[in-house]
Amino acid sequence: MPETIPPDSVGIVTPEMAVFDEPLHLECGKQLDSYQLIYETYGELNADRSNAVLICHALSGNHHVAGYHSMEDRKPGWWDSCIGPGKPIDTNRFYVVSLNNLGGCNGSTGPNTTNPATGKPYGPDFPVVTVSDWVASQARLADSLGIECWAAVIGGSLGGMQALQWSIQFPDRIRNALIIASTPKLTTQNIAFNEVARKAITSDPNFHDGRYYEHNTYPSKGLMLARMVGHITYLSDASMGEKFGRDLRNQAFNFGLLDVEFEIESYLHYQGERFSKNFDANTYLLMTRVLDYFDPARKHGGNLAAALKGAKCRFFVASFTTDWRFSPERSEELVNALLEAKKQVSYMEIDAPHGHDAFLIPTPRYMDVFSAYMNRIAEETKGAS
């Protein structure tokens, strides 16, 4: 809880809800007849509506990107470090929009919301969505807000995939794509870790084939395991080592087969348990599938440059040295394809010890590069208005 709102915070914010009644045709062949998206906005849309920025969230993210919902909030939104007055995404200059994606569990239509066809939660009947479906739904949100063209679409990790997809799917509606700690497709190892997470959830007897809502329960242990695996892959070996080392819970070993011995074990338990209480298991399954499926080159015989041919925006790509989930090589794969497709691209590999999580951490070099790029967009936007 902040005693006072910091001067570089967007302050107290209130989510809004957008309702869509026109059917959304999905890549899986199904459609959603109607749906709602919860979103937040910070800053002011300028007169010519040219300063709007879309923030796309990653696996476990949501619409609450910056600021506080009340003075009782323990923490601000998940990317507060980068969004606010004077921050890289400067709300004095940009109108920032963030939403909870379709299939999410924080207010937008998803597995834990009511299926109008049955009056019960969708559960496993919620259609499998893709990054492309998300971008289509985000475009409708843009329409409803009167935004014809984003000054920038920005995201880290799975969020970066959405920014990339925007550049391909709506080349005339995006001026800059900022793709941070992301990849143009998952590796085999990425998919393998996702499958461990899914299997942990679906193996939990409380999963009930995804209809756990009707049993007044949820697969807490499976979700906890899924998060534990995920969490390990978000951190670097070195940063875990620095934080926890081989520190013990007690002075000496207990030598009990079922005892907690090391600090890292109780940290992972804590993270896993907390997450399992706040996140929907079906959404977790869905989000990992969205990650697995993303591969814009697939429709072009694996040729990513061909997939990017129609893109018109400028690209900002950033990776982090110790990120082994989406390593710098994956960003370079994208950068090389962008160069081959003769697109404008800025690329920076940032030296940071935090692994994949580095994209959320305001290390000075990262903030400087990010700010400089956003500043250029703001200057151009001012000129255009």
In angstroms, what is the minimal distance from the CB of 249 to its own copies? 12
Which positions lie near its own copies, rule CB under 8 A? 27-29, 124, 126-128, 185-189, 191-193, 195-196, 199-200, 202-205, 209-210, 221-222, 224-225, 228-229, 232, 235, 237, 240-241, 243-246, 253, 255-258, 261-262, 264-265, 268-269, 272, 282, 285-286, 289, 292-293, 295, 324
Query: In whole angstroms, what is the distance from residue 198 CA to residue 223 CA?
Result: 9
Nearer to its own copies (CB atom), residue 29 or residue 119: 29
Q: Which two tokens stand for residue 88?
A: 């890289």
In angstroms, what is the minimal distance from the CB of 179 to its own copies? 19
Is 323 an annotated catalytic residue?
Answer: yes
Instruction: For 348-378, give one letter per residue: b (16+ CB within 10 A) or e.
Output: bbbebebbbbbbbeebeebbebbbebbeebb
Is 356 an annotated catalytic residue?
Answer: yes
Asked whether the beta carbons of 137 and 35 are under 8 A apart, the reply is: yes
Nearer to its own copies (CB atom), residue 6 or residue 324: 324
Sequence-distant (6+) residues with CB within 8 A of 328 are 319, 320, 321, 349
Nearer to its own copies (CB atom), residue 291 or residue 360: 291
User: Judging by beta carbons within 10 Å of its beta carbon (0-12, 13-18, 19+), is residue 262 exposed, middle or buried?
Assistant: middle
Nearer to its own copies (CB atom), residue 159 or residue 222: 222
Nearer to its own copies (CB atom), residue 231 or residue 309: 231
In angstroms, what is the minimal distance from the CB of 324 to its own copies? 8
In angstroms, what is the minimal distance from the CB of 25 to its own copies? 13
In angstroms, what is the minimal distance from the CB of 263 to its own copies? 9
Spot the catalytic one: 157, 167, 236, 319: 157
Closest CA to 88 of 174, 176, 184: 176
Spot the catalytic one: 64, 133, 356, 357: 356
Residues labelled as active-site residues: 157, 323, 356
